[in-house]
Structure 1
Amino acid sequence: MTFTPEQDALRETVRAVLERHSEPWKVLCEQVGVAGLAIPEAYGGLGCGLGETQVVAEELGRALSSAPFLGSAVLAAHAVLEAADETAARRLLPAIAQGAIATLAWTTADGTWHPDQAAVTAKGSTLDGSAHYVLDGDLADILLVIADTGEELGLFEADPAQVRRIHSTTMDETRGLAVLEFTGVAGTRIGTGDFRPALHRVRDIACATLAAEQAGAAARALDITVAYTKQREQFGRPIGGFQALKHRMADLYVLVETARSAAYAATQPDVDRARLAAVAKAYCTEAFSTVAAEMIQLHGGIAITWEHEAHRFFKRAHGSTQLFGQPHHHLSRVVPDLD
């Protein structure tokens, strides 16, 4: 797994911003341009690929940042791009590239994130229904909606002022989610034709990006745990010196590195991105959950106190497990007989 000098510089810059600023989104957008990474230059973006998006996501994961990158710069931006609507792209993408928060309302209450299903219905240009688990939905300036027209799925833009937005109280307080209720809301159709095939591609990109975020968070959780085992003493010596714990942390290191490889595999040319995105989501979810659980156990009682950050990694791990579909669902995409 190799990175270009530009990707390494991007990683270092994003990490420095996250270390210096408690509210980094504005700086990341204005000085680094992260909100426009995936957006072509013609629409005010940087025109970068999935690899650069994943580099940023990995660093945001290490910091457990609540920046609206995943929902806005990835999910919403790619939805607009996939719609292939030039008028909508010129109207929406420059704002997203500059840091306006956009979101995609799509998921039903069961949280399956299925590309063939929508939580909202459209009768003409009128939207009705309730979308759940909407990333930063209560803060978004631009609301995009997947709606079932009765014959196909379509992408719509809705007026935020007409939508009832309810912030969701979740275990992971670093991930902003909301329920959006549509009752006779006017919607503007973006693009034509059935959006289902495009939504599959959007979800694959989101899964690959989330996998990189999970790999970054897992790596940071392991770093913190290793440092702690070098400080905490038992029987007159650091617990990290005991062979059993050395073996456990060596296994975790292998798990983290293979998770990074799985995440970035989807960036390679001439690959089956859908299949590799499914592998990345399933593998990185399990890897992060395993590392977070070991972090709690190896820290002992301090890990379940509010004062220590271990519980935040544990909550992010379990929250991200549900995002964009659970691991067993994505495994069934790789090996259909597993479903």
Structure 2
Amino acid sequence: MSGLTAEQRELRTVVRGLLEKESPEATVRAVMATDTGFDPELLAGLAGMGLPGLAVPEEQGGAGAGWVEQGVVFEELGRALACVPYLSTVGLAIPALLAAGDRSAIDRWLPGLASGERTATVALPEQAARWTTGGEALTATGAGPEWEVTGVAAHVLDGATAHLLLVVAVTDGGPTLFAVDPAHPGVQRTATTTSDHTRRFAHLEFRGAPAVPVGTVGAAGGVVGLALAHGRVALACEQVGGAARVLELAVEHARTRVQFARPIGSFQAVKHRCADMLVAVETARSAAWAAVRAVGTEELHLVSAVAAAVCADAYTTCASGFVQIAGGLGYTWEHSAHLYVKRSRGSAVLFGTPHQHRRLVADLASIREGRS
């Protein structure tokens, strides 16, 4: 990305070097086959560099940098298909805690998350692309600091391994964000399988699990909406990194693969497909980094939804194009193409589909137009 400072470019170089050393494709495949599905050594390496707390204020245990730096990290993680619970912790949970503005919750949990010693996730409502106050599967009863959560949350990102669960539950006062200790007997976590083995999800069942409200009771709508907007930004950066990487691999293959005594990259159809992939990558990069720079502004919800739709389409387009350029090799388990195809498809629906994001863009644009 153009416009990065020398320090931010150096950050990119250092993070890429770490990932190339600690998380090459062979390691990614090995981690995919484990029960937990993430690499604790890689997570420790990222934490050792202070990366989880890059965008966390210094007084709360972070580096006090910003989302440009964090966007650089997410792009590199997406490029490497890194198997770490970074998106759930840094892209969702930390923004949710900060958005809630609950000083006691921030002091209690944020330092451990910012240091990388602990991980967390957010159990989002089923209609993740647009916040609603009806139909949630979790309820909470109680008063003051003592509450209990009951119900089911499906498809929770990194829900089987997180040290802290932030869940949205319906109370008499409205939807509320709660912190739940997953080690309590009232929480049952079941790992679920998707086609993308580089990410892990879980089915969570709460049976009167003790919960601590985070922020004001009934105010989860705005908090989760803001956390989800940050999550869309982080995921968009990941998608740009993945799309750019498959473009690199496709071009490399087109240059070296020879058919009819010529590199296949000399054939017009292959050249056109690579050109289309390049356009998709650069369009996605522009959208993603516009969203990064919108963090902290009133434009975040709108711009992050645009980035979510554009980057999802770009990544799936490029990953599919890589398979086509690789030919028969691209359909084999041993080839890297399928890893990116599956990651691109899973990411495209992680926080809502591109269609839902476009609907959200239309709604937000209409609201803004009505105010002007």
Aligned length: 336
How many Å separate the matches in 1 of 2:293 and 2:215? 29
Which one-letter code corresponds to 1:52 in the other structure?
A: E
Q: CA deviation at 1:106?
A: 2.2
Q: CA deviation at 1:338?
A: 11
Which one-letter code corresponds to 2:80 in the other structure?
A: A
TM-score (norm 2): 0.87
How many Å separate the matches in 1 of 2:279 and 2:344? 18
Match of 1:126 in 2: 148
Tell whether the 8 Å contact from 1:106 to 1:119 is kept in structure 2 after alignment: no
How many Å separate the matches in 2 of 1:63 and 1:206? 19
C-alpha spacing 1:92/1:337, structure 2 compared with 1 (3 Å): closer
C-alpha spacing 1:315/1:338, structure 2 compared with 1 (3 Å): farther
Tell whether 2:304 aligns with 1:277.
yes
Q: CA deviation at 1:271?
A: 6.2
Q: Gapped runs of 5+ residues in structure 2?
A: 24-38, 367-372
Q: CA deviation at 1:68?
A: 1.0
TM-score (norm 1): 0.95
149-158 or 222-231, larger mean C-alpha shift: 149-158
140-149 or 111-120, larger mean C-alpha shift: 111-120
Q: SS of 1:122's equivalent?
A: strand
How many Å separate the matches in 1 of 2:149 and 2:292? 36
Tell whether 2:46 aligns with 1:46.
no
Match of 2:30 in 1: none
Paired residue for 2:201, among 174, 177, 185?
A: 177
Match of 2:14 in 1: 13
Tell whether the 8 Å contact from 1:116 to 1:196 is kept in structure 2 after alignment: yes
- Percent identical across equivalent pairs? 44
Tell whether 2:289 aligns with 1:264.
yes
Q: Gapped runs of 5+ residues in structure 1?
A: none
Tell whether the 8 Å contact from 2:149 to 2:169 is kept in structure 1 after alignment: yes
How many Å separate the matches in 1 of 2:124 and 2:272? 43
Match of 2:173 in 1: 151
Tell whether the 8 Å contact from 1:102 to 1:140 is kept in structure 2 after alignment: yes
Tell whether 2:249 aligns with 1:228.
no
285-294 or 15-24, larger mean C-alpha shift: 15-24
Paired residue for 2:101, among 84, 88, 100?
A: 84
Alignment of 1:297-336 (within 5 A): 297-336=324-363
Which one-letter code corresponds to 1:146 in the other structure?
A: V
46-55 or 214-223, larger mean C-alpha shift: 46-55
How many Å separate the matches in 2 of 1:101 and 1:304? 35
Alignment of 1:156-171 (within 5 A): 156-162=178-184, 163-171=187-195
Tell whether the 8 Å contact from 1:138 to 1:177 is kept in structure 2 after alignment: yes
C-alpha spacing 1:308/1:271, structure 2 compared with 1 (3 Å): same
Q: SS of 1:175's equivalent?
A: coil
Q: SS of 1:230's equivalent?
A: helix
Which one-letter code corresponds to 1:293 in the other structure?
A: S
How many Å separate the matches in 2 of 1:42 and 1:133? 34
Which one-letter code corresponds to 2:302 in the other structure?
A: R
Tell whether the 8 Å contact from 1:70 to 1:206 is kept in structure 2 after alignment: yes
How many Å separate the matches in 2 of 1:290 and 1:147? 37
Paired residue for 1:116, among 128, 132, 137?
A: 132
Tell whether the 8 Å contact from 1:138 to 1:165 is kept in structure 2 after alignment: yes
Q: SS of 1:293's equivalent?
A: helix
Tell whether the 8 Å contact from 1:37 to 1:46 is kept in structure 2 after alignment: yes
Q: CA deviation at 1:12?
A: 0.9
Q: CA deviation at 1:16?
A: 0.7
Alignment of 1:65-84 (within 5 A): 65-84=82-101
Pairwise CA RMSD: 1.8
Tell whether the 8 Å contact from 2:129 to 2:360 is kept in structure 1 after alignment: no
Match of 2:31 in 1: none
C-alpha spacing 1:338/1:93, structure 2 compared with 1 (3 Å): closer
